[in-house]
């Protein structure tokens, strides 16, 4: 067990984030990439057989093949790769991916050592989690507002993404990329020490920009720093740290996982989705390591979600922010 040094822990306490170098073994990341190559193969085969694409783009590395697919289809296909589900309009066959290599990354010992140094030894995987495969902005499709789909992430705090019941949950965000993320590829950007004042107002459709963001008047935006990282490095974020991402202005994809962990027994803020015990002295027999079991949890969730929240979040609310707050004017 190594985990964080005292210096890293105190940096995290003071600044609300820390970049920890060389946490995830490259072999773990390579296995994830191999697994996703199979997922991409399946997607391409399906689309090819349906006549939606004219080529299988064979013989290319993942990123180049993925970009060809985005260009030809005008879509980013994020749901096909994600280990989560939409909040509404889930169908009985909505795709998702919860493979063994992905689970091995979620539960990798060196990563959980780091997590345990911040939240303690009883570690739960909180289901607020995404894989983000962000193509270069130049090839991204746009929404009705002309904004790129899967483009730069707007300013937010991760506590603002969960429901108020989880405000006291010690939710830790863990962000890492599968390949190096340099400054052009749209890395994470953070505002050091912005976690101090607690939860800030998030404005839906702020100044007509769509989405949901914290207005820049509410924090020290000029303190922002970008966090380009190497593969294997991990970024930890406090749940109140204001962050977003830069745009991907490179000619390569930007490929990251963002995961959340909290102490066992605290509410996740997304109880409609399944979490699991990662590490526990008290509940060792419940530690989840088998992807079939994990997949089963998500299949059950998909089945349940396909019967609720159709056409809106009428049955279970995943968000918390209303329009019209004074901070948003
Ligand atoms: O990767 C991104 O662009 C955003 C990630 C994020 O907001 C998070 O990890 O909490
Ligand atoms: Fe976030």
Q: What is the mean pLDDT of residues 232-250?
A: 98
Residue 197 belongs to some domain of the structure? yes
In a domain, 300, yes or no: yes
Residue 97 has pLDDT above 80, yes or no: yes
| Domain CATH code at residue 17 | 2.60.120.620
For 48, the 3-state DSSP assignment is: helix
Pocket test for ligand 1, best of 137, 227, 243, 260 (most atoms within 8 A of CB): 243
pTM listed for this prediction: 0.97
The response to whether residue 117 sits with its C-beta less than 6 Å from ligand 1 reads no
Number of structural domains (the chain) is 1
Which ligand 1 atom sits closest to the C-alpha of 156?
Answer: 7
| Tokens at 315, concatenated | 């049955």
Q: Tell me whether residue 255 is in a domain.
A: yes
Per-residue pLDDT averaged across 226-255, rounded?
Answer: 98
> Is 271 within a domain?
yes
Return all residues near 63 (Cβ < 8 A) that are at least 6 apart: 179, 252, 253, 255
Residue 259 lies in a domain: yes
C-alpha 243 to ligand 2 mean position (Å): 6
Mean pLDDT of the chain: 97
Report percent pLDDT > 90 for the chain.
97
Structural domain that includes position 15: 6-313+321-328
285 domain residue, yes or no: yes
- Given this model, what pLDDT does residue 106 score? 98
Atom of ligand 1 nearest to the CA of 132: 1
pLDDT in tens, 162-212: 999 999 999 999 999 999 999 999 999 999 999 999 999 999 999 988 999
Tell which residue, 52, 165, 110, 80, has the closest CA to residue 278: 110
For residue 211, give the DSSP letter.
Answer: S
Helix axes 62-73, 26-49, angle to 10 degrees: 30
DSSP notation for 89-145: ---TT------HHHHHHHT-HHHHHHHHHHH-SSEEEEEEEEEEEE--GGG--B-TT
Q: In 6-114, which ranges are E strands?
A: 17-20
Asked whether residue 1 is domain-assigned, the answer is no
Q: Is 256 a pocket residue for ligand 1 (Cβ < 6 Å)?
A: yes
- Residue 153 Cβ inside 6 Å of ligand 1? The answer reads yes
Q: What is the pLDDT of residue 1?
A: 60
Best residue among 175, 248, 257 to mutate for probing ligand 1's pocket (most ligand atoms within 8 Å of CB) is: 175
- 286 found inside a domain: yes
Whether ligand 1 lies within 6 angstroms of the CB of 122 is answered as no
**Per-residue pLDDT tens for 27-78?**
999 999 999 999 999 999 999 999 999 999 999 999 999 999 999 999 999 9
């Amino acid at each position: 067990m190594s985990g964080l040094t005292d210096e890293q822990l105190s940096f995290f306490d003071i600044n609300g984030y820390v970049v920890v170098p060389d946490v995830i073994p490259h072999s773990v990341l390579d296995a994830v990439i191999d697994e996703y190559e199979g997922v991409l193969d399946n997607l391409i085969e399906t689309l090819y057989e349906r006549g939606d694409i004219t080529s299988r783009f064979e013989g290319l590395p993942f990123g180049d093949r993925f970009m060809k697919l985005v260009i030809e289809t005008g879509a980013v296909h994020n749901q096909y790769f994600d280990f989560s589900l939409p909040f509404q309009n889930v169908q009985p066959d909505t795709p998702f991916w919860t493979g063994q290599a992905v689970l091995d990354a979620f539960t990798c010992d060196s990563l959980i050592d780091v997590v345990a140094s911040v939240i303690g030894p009883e570690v739960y995987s909180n289901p607020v989690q995404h894989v983000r495969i962000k193509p270069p902005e130049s090839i991204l499709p746009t929404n009705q507002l002309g904004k790129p789909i899967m483009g730069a992430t707007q300013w937010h705090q991760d506590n603002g993404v969960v429901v108020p019941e989880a405000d006291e949950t010690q939710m830790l965000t863990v962000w890492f990329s599968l390949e190096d993320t340099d400054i052009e590829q749209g890395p994470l950007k953070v505002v050091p020490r912005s976690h101090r004042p607690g939860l800030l107002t998030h404005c839906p459709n702020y100044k007509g920009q769509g989405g949901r963001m914290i207005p820049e008047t509410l924090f020290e935006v000029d303190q922002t720093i970008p966090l380009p990282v190497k593969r294997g490095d991990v970024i930890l974020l406090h749940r109140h740290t204001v962050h977003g991402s830069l745009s991907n202005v490179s000619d390569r994809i930007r490929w990251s996982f963002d995961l959340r962990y909290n102490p066992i027994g605290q509410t996740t803020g997304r109880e409609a989705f399944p979490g699991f015990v990662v590490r526990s002295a008290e509940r060792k027999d419940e530690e989840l390591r088998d992807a079939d079991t994990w997949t089963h949890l998500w299949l059950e969730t998909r089945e349940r979600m396909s019967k609720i929240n159709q056409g809106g979040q009428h049955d279970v609310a995943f968000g918390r922010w209303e329009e019209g707050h004074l901070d948003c004017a």
